Amino acid sequence: MNRVLALVNLTGLIVGVSYGLHGPVLPIFAKNVIGATYTELGIIGFASFVPYMFIPLFVGVLLDRFSNARLLAVGAAVNSASVYLLSLAHTVPEITGFRIMTGVAHAFFWPPCESIIANESHGRDRIKNISRFTMFFVIGFMTGPLLGAAFLEGTDSAYRMLFQITAFILAACIVTALLGSGSRRMVRHGRFSLGSITAMRKFPEVVVLLVFCTSSFGIILTIYPAFLNDRGMTTVDILLLYFVFGIARTVSLAFAGRLAARTGHTLIAATAAISAGLAISIMADSIASFAAALILMGFGFSIFFPLTLEIILSRTGKNISGKMIGAYETVFGLGWMIGPVIGGPVTMLGDWIPYAVFCVAGVGVTALAIRSRKKLEPQDSHYV
Phi, psi of 206 (to 5 degrees): -65, -40
Nearest in space to 176 (alpha carbons), one of 5, 7, 13, 12: 7
pLDDT at 381: 42
Q: How long a stretch of residues is the chain?
A: 384
Residue 82 CA to residue 98 CA, distance in Å, equals: 5
Residue 320 CA to residue 270 CA, distance in Å, equals: 29
pLDDT at 380: 58
pLDDT (tens, 9 = 90+) of the chain, 384 residues, equals 688 888 889 999 999 899 888 888 888 889 888 998 888 888 888 888 788 777 877 777 777 677 788 888 888 999 999 999 999 999 999 999 999 999 889 888 888 888 888 778 776 677 788 888 888 988 888 888 778 777 666 567 888 988 999 999 999 988 888 886 654 444 444 554 555 566 677 888 888 999 999 999 988 988 898 899 989 998 888 888 988 998 898 888 888 778 777 888 999 999 999 999 999 999 998 999 999 999 999 999 988 888 888 888 777 666 556 677 777 878 877 887 888 888 878 888 888 899 999 999 999 999 999 998 888 877 654 433
CA atoms within 13 A on the CB side of 348: 8
> Residue 129, exposed/middle/buried by CB under 10 A (0-12, 13-18, 19+)?
buried
List the helix and strand counts (H, then E) for the chain: 18, 0
State pLDDT tens for residues 98-157.
Answer: 999 998 898 888 888 888 887 787 766 777 888 888 889 888 888 887 787 776 665 678
Residue 106 CA to residue 329 CA, distance in Å, equals: 10
> In this structure, which amino acid lies at residue 269?
A
> In this structure, which amino acid lies at residue 55?
I
pTM given for the model? 0.76
289-303 in b/e form (b: 16+ CB < 10 A) is: ebbbbbbbbbbbbbb
Residue 162 CA to residue 90 CA, distance in Å, equals: 15
Cβ contact 17:141 at 8 Å:
yes
Residue 223 CA to residue 343 CA, distance in Å, equals: 7
198-213 in b/e form (b: 16+ CB < 10 A) is: ebbeebebbbbbbbbb
